Amino acid sequence: MATRINKYLSEVGYCSRRVADRLIKEGKVTINGEIPEFGTKVEEGDQVEVKGQRIEKSIIQKKIYLAFNKPVGIVCTTDRKVEPNNVIDFIKYPKRIFPIGRLDKLSEGLIFLTNDGDIVNKILRARNNHEKEYIVSVNRLINRDFIEKMSNGVEILDTITKHCFVKQLGPRKFKIILTQGLNRQIRRMCEILGYRVQTLKRVRIMNIKLDLPTGKYREFTKEELLEINRLLENSLKTFN
């Protein structure tokens, strides 16, 4: 059965579909020696290469799902040439994996890594309403007005953020639960309201809570994976 090239690369665990699209656009992917267009399908027997490396479905033997407590200073990228402090070199996992989403360099906490490209879009799509929970400290005292505005939506990046749960935990600390993943969303929201984030830690993604020392990773438990699959059952994919 023919498979779109971006889906093929995600299914074999090379990268997510989003990254596959970028590689195709950059001309780094070939099918039988030719650079494909978006939407080109891979047929049985086709030879697929990325940056000159032969890619085959047989390279993946089992799906890998990791929870990792990212330290401050580590970048969530697989581009090891561009960024020396990248998550892949830090973890040194023996098989090819890639992060699901991002935490910016100054943030810490829970991030998933996998070789399952199909799960990436389901988790990241904001319309699927998958929760991500953060503990944030800021540079000055929080008041009720700040909590209400953060909860009701702040205008950033030419849009208004979705309503979300925000709870004050201390004079300068709060918890926030998002179902969006806008670029540097919490930092931008705080800046608009006149605050500067001092620490930002993600402590939960969906049903999985952060329970690891900084810099350590573990595999999902069977129970966690079953629950994540249940939560993802009705999630929308980016592509068919």
Catalytic residues: 104
DSSP lists the bridge partners of residue 197 as 138
Residue/partner pairs of 22-25 with CB below 8 Å, 24 or more apart: 23/50, 23/51
What is the Cα–Cα distance from 230 to 72, expressed in whole angstroms? Answer: 32
Whether 98 contacts 51, CB under 8 Å = no
**Residue of 74, 82, 81 whose CA lies nearest to 99:** 74
Whether 99 contacts 64, CB under 8 Å = no
How far CA 24 is from CA of 6, 38, 101, 117, 153, in Å, comes to 8, 7, 20, 16, 36
What is the Cα–Cα distance from 45 to 240, expressed in whole angstroms? Answer: 22
Proportion of the chain in helix, strand, coil states, percent, rounded to 5: 25, 30, 45
**Residue of 101, 94, 152 whose CA lies nearest to 122:** 101
